[in-house]
Amino acid sequence: MKTTVFTGPKQLEIREIDLPRLKPDQVLVKVKAVGLCTWEQRFYKGTDPGSYPFRGGHEVSGQVVEVGPAAITSIKPDDTVCLALATRCNNCYYCRRGLDNLCLHMNDTVSGEIWGPAGLSEYVIAETYQVYQVNSGRPFTQLALAEPVACVTRSVSLPPLEFGDVVVVQGVGIMGLLHVQLLKQRGVQVVVAEPNPERRETALAAGADLAVDPLSTDLAELVRKQTQGIGAAAVFFTGGGGPAIEHGLGVLAKGGWLCLYGSVYPKGTIEIDPNDIHYRELFVTGTFSHSRASFRQAVQTISAGQIDLSPFVSAEVPFPEVQAGFELAIRPDTYRVVVTF
């Protein structure tokens, strides 16, 4: 089969390798579509601290080819599936506490002699717990987005939101837009803070109640007016760097949640007054990756047609033209570029 290997910044090779032997408890999947996530984009640009060579691709949809005879699963050949290729050991402290997204061995993914999830390949051999059947007629290009939907599902589920609450989403790239759609399903009012006017319009079309430029608008004052002086029940940071995080704290109501969904590159520090957190009983938390539970929820949401993923696929690029796909993906005017097989 053919696979994609990252050998260095902006250096990709399409290599012919032997298809690994299927173990009795594994599933062989023909890859149909792979989303080019920001993680792989950082590898492509050379800004991720991970090592080369690397086999990327973890937002994957496909069709089952073969199921090992000892696999304990209801999955069968020809099923349409989404893959959660992040590894889970199922035995470490965090896995046994139900925090499998923090598995101590999550990045111990080795595909042959090269590490990485290896979804940018013609075939993937997956563990049964990584394979989720989708009862949907949606295109494979949209189904490949199940992984980011699962990550955002976990994010929006953390704060104890109530109907009518006001929440803020900072930044509306694809992750911010997914936050908007899923938060609206929780019955809350969504205010988007985004400097780019085109993205603000897209956020409004996705269901946001209000979209403002935080560089020219006093976000905290605006939210106080929306909430009779109370503040936001939660702020979801998906982009904007350290200053956005600092501003987000000032927007919160007492007992409010600041959810750091996005990472900050390059790394930096922020200034936080601990007394502010103490006296207002604020919750500051990160949210990383997806759990098995949130991936299951995401697949059910997609299968039921409860989320519209079509606006998030900016372009489709056929394999093996992966390099052209990454050049599109790193542009600021795209959401998700998907490689098709």
Cβ contact 68:25 at 8 Å: yes
**Per-position pLDDT tens, the chain of length 341:** 999 999 999 999 999 999 989 999 999 999 999 999 999 999 999 998 889 999 999 999 999 999 999 999 999 999 999 999 989 999 999 999 999 999 998 865 555 679 999 999 999 999 999 999 998 789 999 999 999 999 999 999 999 999 999 999 999 999 999 999 999 999 999 999 999 999 999 999 999 999 999 999 999 999 999 999 999 999 999 999 999 999 999 999 999 999 999 999 878 899 999 999 999 999 999 999 999 999 999 999 999 999 999 999 999 999 999 999 999 999 999 999 999 99
> What stretch of H or E contains 13?
strand 11-16
* Helices 197-205/174-184 angle, 10° precision: 30
The pLDDT of residue 267 is 83
Domain definitions of the chain by residue range? 2-150+290-340, 159-286
Domains 2-150+290-340 and 159-286 alike in fold: no
The pLDDT of residue 154 is 98
CATH architecture of 159-286: 3-Layer(aba) Sandwich (3.40)
Per-residue tokens: 204: 């409004």
Token look-up 């104890």 returns: 160
Per-residue tokens: 121: 């390949």
Which of 145, 194, 179 has the alpha carbon at shortest distance from 261? 179
- 122/3 Cα distance (integer angstroms): 7
280-303 per-residue burial string, b: 16 or more CB within 10 A, e: under 16: eebebeebebbbbebbebbbebbb
Residue 262 φ then ψ, to 5°? -85, 155
- 326/59 Cα distance (integer angstroms): 14
Give alpha helix (H) positions in 162-230. Answer: 174-184, 197-205, 219-226
The DSSP code for 209 is: S
- 235/233 Cα distance (integer angstroms): 7
Superfamily name and number for 2-150+290-340: Medium-chain alcohol dehydrogenases, catalytic domain (3.90.180.10)
Token look-up 């409860």 returns: 306
